[in-house]
Chain A
Amino acid sequence: EPEVTQTPSHQVTQMGQEVILRCVPISNHLYFYWYRQILGQKVEFLVSFYNNEISEKSEIFDDQFSVERPDGSNFTLKIRSTKLEDSAMYFCASSEQGLRSNQPQHFGDGTRLSIL
C-alpha cells in the first residue's frame, strides 16, 4: 500500500539554525498538510497546500515557516531560525481531496525535531 514517507526520522539542530523537513506524499494525492505535536500535547494544524500554494494556515504558521513543493514528489517544511519551542514531532499528511471531503488523510511517521 502506498504511504507517506518523511525524512529524517529525527533531526537535531542548534537554536537559530534553519531546518528543512522533507515529505514524499502519496503520488496521486493533491492536498498536502503539515502538523506538529509538542511532546505531551495535542496535535496542531500548521498548513494545508494545494495547487502549489498555501490554502490554509494556522496562527502558529508565522513568517519563520514556509512550505514548498520543489519538484513533483517532495513537499518540504522549512523553519528559518529555529527556537527551543519548535522542538516537536512534525507530521506530514496527504489526501486525494481536501479536508471537507470524505477522503481520508494519510500520515507519515513523523520527524522528531530537537532544538538545542
Chain B
Amino acid sequence: KNEVEQSPQNLTAQEGEFITINCSYSVGISALHWLQQHPGGGIVSLFMLSSGKKKHGRLIATINIQEKHSSLHITASHPRDSAVYICAATRRNNNDMRFGAGTRLTVKP
C-alpha cells in the first residue's frame, strides 16, 4: 500500500469551479507538502503544513492530523491552474519524503 494516497487521479473542471484534491497518508509525519508540477515538468512548492490551514491567493490547504488527511482547494479555478498537484509527506522519524502519485487537473475555459 502506498504511504501517501491522492484522489482523484484526474480531475477536469470548468473555469470558475471550486476544486478539491484529497491526500491521505499512513505514516507519522512532521510536515505535509503540496507541490505543483507544470506541463513542462518543473515543480513548485505551494504549501508546507504541520497543522491547521494555510491560504495563498486562491489556494487553500488544510490538514487534519488525527485523520491523517489533507486537502488542497482552489477557488475560482482558471485554465492556468491546469497542472499536476502532488502531495508529499516528510516522515517523522526520518528526514525524507514520500510522494503521492499526483492529481492531474485540467481547467477548461
Contact = CB atoms under 8 A, between A and B. Distances in A.
Interface residues of B, number: 25
Given A99-B31, A100-B30, A102-B50, A58 B96 contact: yes
B43 A45 contact: no
A110 B41 contact: yes
Contacts of A43: 35, 37, 43, 86, 88, 99
A32 B61 CA distance: 25
Nearest to B38: A109
A55 B95 CA distance: 7
A104 B41 contact: no
A45 B30 contact: no
Interface in A76-114: 89, 91, 93, 98-107, 109-110, 112
Contacts of A98: 95
Contact of A99 (B40, B42, B95, B101): B95
B97 interface: yes
B96 A45 contact: yes
Interface string A48-62: 100000011110000
Contacts of A104: 45, 48
Interface of A: 35, 37, 41-45, 48, 55-58, 89, 91, 93, 98-107, 109-110, 112
Interface of B: 30-31, 33, 35, 37, 40-45, 48, 50, 86, 88, 90, 94-102
Given A42-B100, A43-B88, A109-B41, 5 more contacts: A35-B97, A42-B101, A48-B96, A99-B95, A100-B90
